[in-house]
Structure 1
Amino acid sequence: MSSTALTNKHTGKATEGTRLGWVDYARGLAILLVIFRHTMVGLRRSGIMVSDNLYYIQEFLLNVRMPVFFILSGVFLGRTLQKRSLRSIAANKTANLLYPYLVWSVILITFQIVLSNYTNSQRSWTDYKYILYQPRELDHMWYLLALFNTTMLFLVCYNALKRQPLLHFILAVVLYYFHYLVYDYSLVSDIMYNYVFLVFGVYMYERIARMENLDLKKLGLLFIITVPVFIAGQLFWLNHINDHYQPLRTIYLLPFLAIIFVASLVYYLVSRILYELQVAKFLAWIGKYSLYIYIVHVFVIAMVRVGFVKFLHIENQYVLILSSLVLGIIIPVLFHKLLVKLNIKYLFSFNKSGK
């Protein structure tokens, strides 16, 4: 999307139109956490020794990884609502979320069936039915469908509620709270749980845009203030995560929601500070390809694990983790670039542009 270049008065960095430059950092960091999580889980399922301390790192951040994606998607949806019609947005999301979900879910299941002797998943041809009603059975692919469904629900409610943010947010919190009633039906529970984060992102867009004027000193001060709250909240969450679906303990869900919002604020501050300092620019590069990396990385880290362990007989956890992180990013990006070069546009989208 082309737009007029603007210059941030505090940093002198150019941004495009109303684009929030730190978002690519946020996406890049989130993708790293996702790949790290899937690598650690895959190794443990394969019987590879993984340090408890390393595993604890991804557990400590488990509750905020995916909400961040929904919040960021909400922020961009909030901006898009100012420019495009609801019908146009719905068509775009169908092309870029629902379509790749269907395509890559079929590819994933087929891949796991054909290579069943090497992968951790025991698939059969009947598993294709999960595409329609149980997306959580499809590993990471559930996110694409959940994001599509929450976006469609938002567009309906946004129109029906006559753009009343407070009422809309209350509805989202109610859905979040009662998602445990349908927890075993992920097609529905994923919508109910994640909807509140998308709604939050949409209605926070203008406030976040105004926060672009915060200088590095103020961002650092906010970070110092919020980090202790963040750590305390994460520790509380970890200590009670196994209790919150038990009878009479669902009250934990509301504190958990507040904890996730605090963690998301810290996540925002880290992304903004990195962006303002213009360090770790590789995160911004990763963030620009986040969707393609997200879709393809599971295939890559599975092949890395199989190749290193079964064929090269390398089981060093650090080699496996680092290789999975690096190749899980680079190979999906190269794969996408190859498809673009070959003019193969319809693996990730059915838009004419292939984007």
Structure 2
Amino acid sequence: MEKKRLSWVDVTKGFLMILVVIGHYPGQLDFPLAKYIYWFHMPAFFILSGMFFKPILEKGITKQAIHKRFMQLIVPYLFFLVTITVIRYGMEIGSGNMDVSWYLNDIWTLVIGGRFARGAYGVFWFVTTLFFTYLFFIWMTKYFNRIKQIGILTVFYLIAHLESLFAMRVIGGAPDEASQTIPMIWNIDVALMAVVYFAFGYYMKNIWMNVTRPWLIAGIIGSVSAFSLDWFNVIDYHLSMKFLRYDHLVLDLLIPLSFTLVFVGVFQLIASRMSLKWLQRIEKHSISIMYLHIFTDVVLNDYFQYGIIGFTIFGLIIPIVASIIIQKLVPHGKLLLGGFSPKKRKTPTTPLPN
């Protein structure tokens, strides 16, 4: 049962990682594929993360749990941040850029991170947001009962929408520019929205672990209805967690949950009947793919002409190769890719009576 569970989870995450790559394709497409990908793919990652959250019940292990997540999330974040930056600066110096103020401004932007880090760092916001989402949920589940947790989540959800309303309607303009008028380091404010999706993963764990036919049908109805209404211009729905764009109090839950139900349910059915090891391999190298797929295009697009298929292939293969090299040749490579496992505490043995 455990193997099957891990199989479909890895397969689903592998597929979502492909969507992450496709969603960052910089070219123009006749079909607004990125728009529909953004409807659910990032919320789905938070939902799946919440599904495996374990509340801290024992005393004295909170610091250990936070340390574990820090090593698994922030250490790879810093490693790829420094690595990409060193290579970028080498390229800039090679092209003749000696403007010290440019480098100082760029470094300051990278320190703030989140929605302010663009280009090659376009996905870095997710990791810091996930880390603070985890901290929020530890705090909630440790000190409050379920009813109070739901109350806190409701407040967070409303605050997130009020912030979005201020950015999108009061400030106005393009979502990326509007959201950057609100100062915030590491997109911590996005965790107010992310923790709600995370909570749905945790609270609905029994449903996610075995998406039954009625739930799958409900997900399909919700997804098809949303797509049809948008396609025929009845609604004009957008979702961009990174840039604080939350369009609708109800649809911001209904649409991501519906699509996630469909993909989780479908991949559970498929994984129970056939092996999808290629998707599992993609998930195995997902850290490297997430951090490097945009940077891969930054490096290659001056030398190659390719469309969305080439962009996706390069964005998967080159980071996978980099991941293998890091694991095998770089000291502590597995640790730098998030493979941290805390040492288990030894349980003292009770001496036998004489």
Question: After TM superposition, is the score higher than 0.5?
Answer: yes
Structure 1 or 2: more helix by fraction? 1
- 1:239 corresponds to which residue? 236
Which structure 2 residues correspond to residues 23-34 of structure 1 after superposition, within 5 A?
23-34=9-20
Aligned to 1:245: none
CA contact (8 A) 1:176 1:193 kept: yes
Counterpart mapping for 1:122-141 below 5 A: 124-138=103-117, 139-141=122-124
1:241 and 1:221, CA in 2 relative to 1: closer, same or farther beyond 3 A? closer
Normalised to the residue count of structure 2, the TM-score between the two structures is 0.73
Q: Of the candidates 301, 304, 310, which is equivalent to residue 323 of structure 1?
A: 310
The 1-side partners of 2:55 and 2:277 are apart by 26
Aligned length: 307
- Structure 1 position 237, deviation (Å): 9.3
Identity of aligned residues (%): 21
Q: Which amino acid aligns with 1:75?
A: M
Asked if 1:166 is matched to 2:139, the reply is: no
Q: Paired residue for 1:208?
A: 208
Match of 2:257? 261
Q: Deviations over 1:68-122 (max 9, x none)?
A: 1111111122x5758994333211111111222223223333433433499xxx9
> Within 1, Cα distance between the matches of 2:69 and 2:46?
14
Aligned: 1:107 with 2:94: no
Residues 1:177 and 2:164 aligned together: no
Q: How does 1:221-240 map to 2 (within 5 A)?
A: 221=217, 225-232=221-228, 235=231, 239-240=236-237
1:198 counterpart residue number: 198
Relative to structure 1, the CA distance from residue 252 to residue 230 in structure 2 (aligned partners, 3 Å threshold; closer, same or farther) is closer
Q: What's the CA shift string for 1:275-323, capped at 9, x where partnerless?
A: 2332654222212222222122222232332331xxxxxx352xxx323
Alignment counterpart, residue 23 of structure 2, candidates 7, 15, 37:
37
Q: Which amino acid aligns with 2:30?
A: D
**Structure 2: distance between partners of 1:57 and 1:256:** 18
- Quote the Cα distance in structure 2 between the aligned partners of 1:226 and 1:23: 22
Q: Which residue of 2 aligns with 1:88?
A: 64
Change (3 A) 1:284 1:175: farther
CA RMSD, 1 decimal: 3.5
Q: 1:294 to 1:145 in 2, by over 3 A?
A: same
Matches of 2:247 and 2:45 in 1, distance apart? 25
Stretch of structure 1 that moved more, 148-157 or 176-185: 176-185
- Kindly tell me: are residues 259 and 223 of structure 1, through their superposed partners in 2, closer, same or farther at Cα, counting changes over 3 Å? closer
Q: Counterpart of 2:206 in structure 1: which amino acid?
A: E
Residue equivalent to 1:154? 137
Which among 26, 30, 55 is matched to residue 52 of structure 1?
30
8 Å CA contact retained: 2:220, 2:258: no
For residues 35-88 of structure 1, what are the alpha-carbon distances to aligned partners after superposition, in whole Å with 9 as ceiling and x for unaligned? 1122x22xx3xxxxx4322xx1122221212111111111122x5758994333
Range with bigger deviation, 342-351 or 56-65? 342-351
- Cα gap change, 1:259 to 1:191, in 2 (>3 Å): same
Q: Aligned residue for 2:337?
A: 348
Q: Is the 8 A contact 2:8 2:271 kept in 1?
A: yes
Q: Is this contact kept in 2: 1:109–1:127, CA < 8 A?
A: no
Asked if the contact 1:150–1:194 (Cα under 8 Å) also holds between the matched residues in 2, the reply is: yes
Tell me by how many angstroms 1:33 deviates: 0.9
Supply the distance in 2 between the matched residues of 1:255 and 1:219 (Cα, whole angstroms).
18
- The CA deviation string for residues 19-44 of structure 1, in whole angstroms up to 9 with x for no partner, is 44311121111111111122x22xx3
Q: 1:231 Cα shift?
A: 2.1
Unaligned 5+ segments in structure 1 are 1-5, 8-13, 45-49, 243-248, 309-314
Contact 1:304 1:323 in 2 (8 A): no
What's the counterpart of residue 352 of structure 2? none
Distance in 1 of aligned mates of 2:234 and 2:82 = 35
In structure 2, distance between residues paired with 1:295 and 1:237: 36
Amino acid at match of 2:105: T
Q: CA deviation at 1:155?
A: 1.0
TM-score by length of 1: 0.73
TM superposition outliers: structure 1 runs of 4+ over 6 Å: 217-220
Residue 174 of structure 2 corresponds to: none
